């Protein structure tokens, strides 16, 4: 099993450009998450999908959109990138079953720089 995979690993954008970060998991998990990591701020939740067909805002959703394409894939889109979105983005997944402990499994991250 590959676990959680993310593409691309690195990306440089100019202000105003758009892009989509891809995430896929092969663990048959129900729930998926997108975080951003900035120095001294830990991980902040952008959006999450508790189950296929549902998405919800997290702590810092402004400037982002998501799509839960199917049970495996959860993409994050920046419609008009801004320098404040320079960050490392992590995707995670968890079984999301009633009674489960919600341990999350993380991808390797995407380093995004917006100039």
Partner 1 sequence: AQSVTQLGSHVSVSEGALVLLRCNYSSSVPPYLFWYVQYPNQGLQLLLKYTTGATLVKGINGFEAEFKKSETSFHLTKPSAHMSDAAEYFCAVSDGTSGSRLTFGEGTQLTVNP
Closest by Cα among 51, 12, 14 to 29: 51
Specify burial of residue 4 (Cβ count, 10 A radius: 0-12, 13-18, 19+): buried
Binding of partner 1 by 4 (CB under 8 A) = yes
1, 2, 53, 102: which one binds partner 1 (CB under 8 A): 102
We find the least distance from the C-beta atom of residue 48 to partner 1, in angstroms, to be 6
Which tokens belong to 87? Answer: 């960050």
101 in contact with partner 1 (CB under 8 A): yes
Q: Least distance from C-beta 71 to partner 1, angstroms?
A: 13
- Are 46 and 32 in contact, with CB atoms under 8 Å apart? no
Between 81 and 92, name the residue whose CB sits nearer to partner 1: 92
Match 């729930």 to its residue by tokens.
31
Binding site for partner 1 (CB under 8 A): 4, 30-31, 33, 40-45, 48, 50-51, 58, 90, 92, 94, 96-104, 106-109
């Amino acid at each position: 099993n590959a676990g959680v995979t993310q593409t691309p690993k690195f990306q440089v954008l100019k202000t105003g450009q758009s892009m989509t970060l891809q995430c896929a998991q092969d663990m048959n998990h129900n729930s998926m998450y997108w975080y951003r990591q900035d120095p001294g701020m830990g991980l902040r939740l952008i959006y999450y999908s508790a189950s296929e067909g549902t998405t919800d805002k997290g702590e810092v959703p402004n400037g982002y959109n998501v799509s839960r394409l199917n049970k495996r894939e959860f993409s994050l889109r920046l419609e008009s990138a801004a320098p404040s979105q320079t960050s490392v983005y992590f995707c995670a997944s968890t079984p999301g079953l009633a009674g489960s402990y919600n341990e999350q499994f993380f991808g390797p991250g995407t380093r995004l720089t917006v100039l």
